[in-house]
Amino acid sequence: MSYKILTLSPGSTSTKVAVFDGTEALFRLNVTHPSEELAKYDMAADQFEYRKGTILSALEGNGVRLADIDAFSGYCGAMGPTVGGIFAIDRKVCDHVLDAGVNHPAILGAPLLYAFAREVGRPAYAVNQPDTDELCDVARITGWPGVYRKSHVHCLNQKECAIRCAAELGMGYEDGNFIVAHVGGGLSVACHERGRMVDTNDVLEGAGPFAPNRCGDVPAKPVVRMAFAEGAQRKQMDGVVGKTGGLVGLLGTDDARKILARIEQGDAWAEVVYDAMAYQVSKYVAGFAAVLKGKVDGIVLTGGVSHDPRFVSYVTERVEWIAPVKVYAGDFEMDALASGAIRALDGEEPVMAFTGEPSWKGFSMDGAIADVEA
């Protein structure tokens, strides 16, 4: 039987929505939200009605009724560390994500899908959610006692692209090592070792290369000084970490296409900033090659910015000595979500109940320092 699946990923700059009939997309939309529009909302949670309207317009515009949908499947942020796989979205998931203190639109994935699913009495699923945690122990340690690295990553697209790269190279995902850079509004570089994402930058907490709308790694001391300066505001500083840093802060937009147009017109500042993002991605990719002891089967560039030949060439020139570089521009989240829902409906993959219990709660060995955030 062929199911109709609605898939959803609320990103920082866009809402991706698609409806599938089996694995064939009936339509796919990537609605870009102007940053001036999103700036009207203080908190990501406040965008619920706005994003819901976007999705309902997409359905109406494509002649699909909610009642036609057999299952809802989405990218659901703020669930906390869990194993990978499929979770049923219920009230507990929604309460948890809205209460998690995360200010990213991905927190709306579960509440939006749950609202739609309840309206028509169908199931909703969270597939390979972005807090999926497969980190190895050494990747978690920082030099700041009590601060640990966490896994917030474009898990769904990261894994889907690594699986596609493995297939292109004639091997299984679990049989190879891959480094994937997803460069969208946020930016994750992850190290996939034989089917597990053993290391990644944390895309929400200010780590890794800077992104179109995030600051990434920064030297700690200037930030401490700023945080204690007169008039410093937590909200403004949090914003630079997750929303207004990176290209937005440096160039006033997170739209790489607009920046490329400025570079074309001779804007030298735009050029050095944009190239710096590619430079930092290259450094992360090469760093993960060391983690994998040089045994890298493939490097993948994906996400919206990987449509840009300038970005792709810059990174490729610096990392292709490590392994072949494959470019899967855009993302494959929608296909991965639809396939996950179909596996769930057919009983081919178990659907887990979300307990709210984190799969990583800190180190338990003698002398280990507790996580300040636990």
Ligand X SMILES: Nc1ncnc2c1ncn2[C@@H]1O[C@H](COP(=O)(O)OP(=O)(O)O)[C@@H](O)[C@H]1O
Ligand Y SMILES: CCCC(=O)OP(=O)(O)O
Residues found near ligand Y in the complex (CB under 6 A): 11-12, 77, 104, 106, 130, 152-154, 184-186, 203-204
- Token couple for 172: 């299984």
180: closest CA among 35, 85, 261, 281? 281
334: closest CA among 11, 76, 19? 19
Please work out, in degrees rounded to the nearest 5, the angle formed at the alpha carbon of residue 11 by the alpha carbons of 75 and 306: 105
Q: Is 288 helix (H, G, I), strand (E, B) or coil?
A: helix
* Contact call for residue 12 and ligand X (CB under 6 A): yes
Choose among ligand Y, ligand X, none what residue 203 binds, the Cβ cut-off being 5 to 8 Å by kind: ligand Y
The CA distance from 277 to 338, in Å, is: 32
* Contact call for residue 186 and ligand X (CB under 6 A): yes
Kindly tell me the burial class for residue 83, based on how many C-beta atoms sit within 10 Å of its own C-beta (0-12, 13-18, 19 or more): exposed
Choose among ligand X, ligand Y, none what residue 154 binds, the Cβ cut-off being 5 to 8 Å by kind: ligand Y
Q: Are 21 and 117 in contact (CB under 8 A)?
A: no
Helices of type H across 121-219: 137-140, 155-168
Q: Which of 40-48, 180-188, 190-198, 202-210 is the region at the interface with ligand X (rule: CB under 6 A)? A: 180-188
- Token couple for 347: 């009983």
The CA distance from 16 to 7, in Å, is: 8
CB of 353 to ligand Y, least distance (A): 22
CB of 285 to ligand Y, least distance (A): 18
Query: Distance of alpha carbon 18 from its chain centroid, rounded?
Result: 17
Size of site (CB under 6 A) for ligand X: 19
* Contact call for residue 257 and ligand X (CB under 6 A): yes
Q: Say which residue the tokens 């990174």 belong to.
A: 315
Looking at residues 27 to 86 of the shown chain, list those that interact with ligand X (rule: CB under 6 A): 30
CB of 140 to ligand X, least distance (A): 25
Given 256, 301, 323, 341, the residue binding ligand X (CB under 6 A) = 256
CB of 184 to ligand Y, least distance (A): 4
DSSP for 352-366, written as a single string: EPP----S-----ST
CB of 307 to ligand X, least distance (A): 3
Choose among ligand X, ligand Y, none what residue 212 binds, the Cβ cut-off being 5 to 8 Å by kind: ligand X
| DSSP element (H, E) containing 29 | strand 24-32
Given 52, 140, 307, 318, the residue binding ligand X (CB under 6 A) = 307
* Contact call for residue 331 and ligand X (CB under 6 A): yes
CB of 194 to ligand X, least distance (A): 27
Question: Is 3 or 328 the residue whose CB approaches ligand X more closely?
Answer: 328
* Contact call for residue 184 and ligand X (CB under 6 A): yes
CB of 7 to ligand Y, least distance (A): 15
Q: Are 195 and 84 in contact (CB under 8 A)?
A: no
Question: Is 151 or 177 the residue whose CB approaches ligand X more closely?
Answer: 151
Residues in contact with ligand X by CB under 6 A are: 11-14, 30, 184-186, 212, 254-257, 303-305, 307-308, 331
